[in-house]
């Protein structure tokens, strides 16, 4: 358990450092990527492309292993259904990212900058998560 937690913290730190080094904590960089008719900045495409390489390698390694090194099983989503929750959540994610230039990972990494914008985004994200949890628990209670 301790090794698993240490690896998770190390991976999170590596992810955050990568976001800072690539300047993806800067919402202006993301918004410039989305501005395809203006001053388009392709750097986000390179970051996303660079993320595909280790991801593809991890999935290739996963096929050859019975279980991960620090866990008892692989945690890969099995649900392949498109439902209202997935589509509406994806839409909210995209609209929010396009409006303010933050998504959860970079916003959390940007908290170390001391700027108020990532803190506001993180607070709004947490409020949305709590609101979703409260409404989904209420819906589940009504169904049973």
Give per-residue pLDDT as tens, 21-49. 888 888 888 889 888 898 899 988 888 88
Answer whether 42's CB lies under 8 Å from 33's CB.
yes
Confidence at residue 143, expressed as pLDDT on a 0 to 100 scale: 79
- Report the alpha-carbon distance of residue 104 to residue 45 in Å, rounded: 18
Tokens 């390489």 correspond to what residue? 53
- Report the alpha-carbon distance of residue 22 to residue 19 in Å, rounded: 5
Confidence at residue 123, expressed as pLDDT on a 0 to 100 scale: 93
With a CB cutoff of 8 Å and minimum separation 6, the contacts of 45 are 33
What confidence tens digit (pLDDT) does each residue in 86-140 have?
A: 898 899 888 888 888 888 888 998 888 888 989 999 999 999 899 988 888 888 7
* Model confidence at 1: pLDDT above 80: no
């Amino acid at each position: 358990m301790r090794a698993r937690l240490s690896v998770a913290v190390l991976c999170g730190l590596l992810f955050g450092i990568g976001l800072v080094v690539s300047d993806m904590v800067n919402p202006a960089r993301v918004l410039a990527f989305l501005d395809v008719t203006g001053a388009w900045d392709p750097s986000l495409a390179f970051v996303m492309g660079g993320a595909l390489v280790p991801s593809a390698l991890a999935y290739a390694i996963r096929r050859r292993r019975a279980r991960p090194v620090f866990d008892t099983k692989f945690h890969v989503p099995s649900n392949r259904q498109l439902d209202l929750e997935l589509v509406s959540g994806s839409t909210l994610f995209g609209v929010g990212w396009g409006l303010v230039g933050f998504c959860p990972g970079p916003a959390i990494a940007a908290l170390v900058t001391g700027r108020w914008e990532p803190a506001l985004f993180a607070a709004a994200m947490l409020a949305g998560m709590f609101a979703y949890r409260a409404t989904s628990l209420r819906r589940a209670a009504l169904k049973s």
